[in-house]
Amino acid sequence: MKTTKTTKAKATSKAKKAKPAIRRTALATPSDLHSAGTRDIAAAMNGILADVFALYLKTKNFHWHMSGPHFRDYHLLLDDQAMQVYAMVDVIAERIRKVGQPTLRSIGDIARRQRILDNDAEYVEPGDMLAELQEDNKALAASLRAAHVVCDEHNDIATASLIENWIDETEERTWFLFEANRRSDSTGH
């Protein structure tokens, strides 16, 4: 039997089409959750992960560029908050992988998915930094609540449980930023 160029081209085409499917299968961690559910959960959590990266970098940006009479307090507050936000990254990404879905792969992937806006301004007033981070943390808490609903719909108790702790941490960051940015009265309090 002769092999023609067309036969070889078809065989090559089939092999190329099979490779991506094999690669996807290689990353498909087994789960008792339905595949549609894991896709929904991963979509919600990849959005959260992108926002967490954006919030981390913005918090560090403001930490690095803090100035003014409350420099030390604000600088340390933002460093603590950035570390807390960064601690979420690996847990979120690994949770997405545990349910059998892919997670973020690049800075570009983060940029396409993030809802928390970057701040590239050359100078930001310290009070404006705190207020912006307060709003960003409030937005993250709302996104976490929405992701919790998705997890509940698909009976993903483990991810929902993690989200509950992150909501609490996010609300605490919001509270601290609010209190740190309050105007003092005539007694300095």
- Residues 156-188: pLDDT tens digits? 999 999 999 999 999 999 999 999 999 856 555
- Spatial separation of the C-alpha atoms in residues 140 and 113, rounded to whole Å: 13
Which residue, among 147, 163, 170, 187, has the nearest Cα to 44 in the 3D structure?
147
Q: Please tell me the total number of residues recorded for the chain in this structure.
A: 189
Give the pair of three-digit tokens for residue 113: 């998915």
CB 78 within 8 A of CB 132: no
> Long-range contacts for 142-148 (Cβ within 8 Å, ≥24 apart)?
143/47, 143/48, 143/51, 143/115, 144/48, 144/170, 146/44, 147/41, 147/44, 147/45, 147/47, 147/48
Domain 32-180 sits in CATH at 1.20.1260.10
Residues with pLDDT less than 70, the chain: 1-25, 184-189
Question: Sign of torsion, CA 67 79 90 170?
Answer: negative
- Spatial separation of the C-alpha atoms in residues 174 and 143, rounded to whole Å: 14
Radius of gyration of the chain from Cα atoms? 22
Predicted local confidence at residue 29, as pLDDT: 83
Predicted local confidence at residue 186, as pLDDT: 58
Domain extent listing, the chain:
32-180
CB 159 within 8 A of CB 103: no
Q: Would you give the DSSP letter of residue 76?
A: H
Query: pTM value?
Result: 0.85
Instruction: Work out the burial of residue 98: count CB atoms within 10 Å of its CB; fewer than 13 is exposed, 13-18 middle, 19 or more buried.
Output: middle
One DSSP character per residue, 119-140 reads ---S---HHHHHHHHHHHHHHH
